[in-house]
A and B are shown apart, each in its own frame.
Chain A
Amino acid sequence: MKKVKIKKDQSAYFWFFSFFALILLFFFGITSPYLGVYWLFGILFGFVLQKSRFCFVAAFRDPIIAGSTSLFRAVLVAMAIMTVSFTLIQYNAIQGGAIAIPGRISPVGVHTIAGGFIFGIGMVIAGGCATGTLMRIGEGFLMQGIVLVGFLIGTLWGAWDYPWWERVFISKSPTVHLAQYFGWTGAVLFQLVLIAVLYYIAKKYDDQNNILL
């Protein structure tokens, strides 16, 4: 058995960076209230991601390679919470007299499938999606630094090619907002039932599949 090395005490770093983050929060806050909120949410998201080991790549990869759907089900739970809370935000905004529905409601079509497929291949090879990569760099897993460089190049390239996709696919695709078809209550119920069915299938899949390579 390998001897356990004496671990370095890292609490000094923790206090230093927490203090630094608080100073930045103050400066962002006096520049614009939104910047301060973004900064605070960014830090809290990073904390939750690191502590929970929440990984979107594993959520969609592990069902296939290991027969485990625990993270996939976590994504479903997150989507269920998101469905209810975003509907509340959007409903209140519309009742309050907003003209456009808040949130990023984008056209859906062939480009969604193509983009998802390419992103899926990339994230499994790289071992992390955007959030996972950033979280692991912060954690000290240096291999993901290479991924970050690739990620930046890919993002810039994507922005470069975006007008073509916009012209050929996106402008011709329909924008779907379920509330327009089912009403607000119907849309929430429809989506929650769909998530519940997926959750049930995922649980069954997890119980039945015991993949041993």
Chain B
Amino acid sequence: MAEVRLDCLFEACPIPLIKTMQRLKVLNQGDVLIVETDHSCATKNITEWVGKQKLLCQVVEVSNGEWEIYIKKVR
């Protein structure tokens, strides 16, 4: 049950999504990935993609224009 942070600050689409894909692939089942981003569109396309993979995901706006996306690799 590791918790991994992924720094995607100042990165534009599609880099946050691709980094998320690559990192999720090497994680074990049950791990939580926290993607930090300041790109509003990344919250949209990452949550959509994660939903399609049937993983759990939650977006928290930690500061003005800065988001953390919590993704649990349930399978």
* Total residues of chain B contacting the partner, CB 8 A: 26
User: Which range contains the number of A residues in contact with the other chain?
Assistant: 20 to 34
Chain A residues with CB under 8 Å of B22's CB are 213
CA distance A213 to B12 in the complex (A): 19
Secondary structure of the A contact surface, majority rule: loop
* Docked-complex contact B12 and A144, CB < 8 angstroms: yes
* Docked-complex contact A66 and B12, CB < 8 angstroms: no
Chain A residues with CB under 8 Å of B52's CB are 67-68, 210
Selected A-B contacts with CB under 8 Å, 20 pairs: A4-B60, A4-B63, A7-B63, A65-B17, A66-B17, A66-B45, A66-B48, A68-B52, A126-B12, A127-B13, A127-B14, A139-B40, A140-B64, A141-B38, A141-B39, A141-B40, A143-B10, A212-B53, A213-B18, A213-B21
Which A residues form the contact surface with B (CB < 8 A)? 2, 4-5, 7-8, 10, 53, 55, 57-58, 61-62, 65-68, 70, 124, 126-128, 136, 139-141, 143-144, 210, 212-213
Which B residues form the contact surface with A (CB < 8 A)? 10, 12-14, 17-18, 21-22, 25, 38-41, 44-45, 48-49, 52-53, 60-65, 68
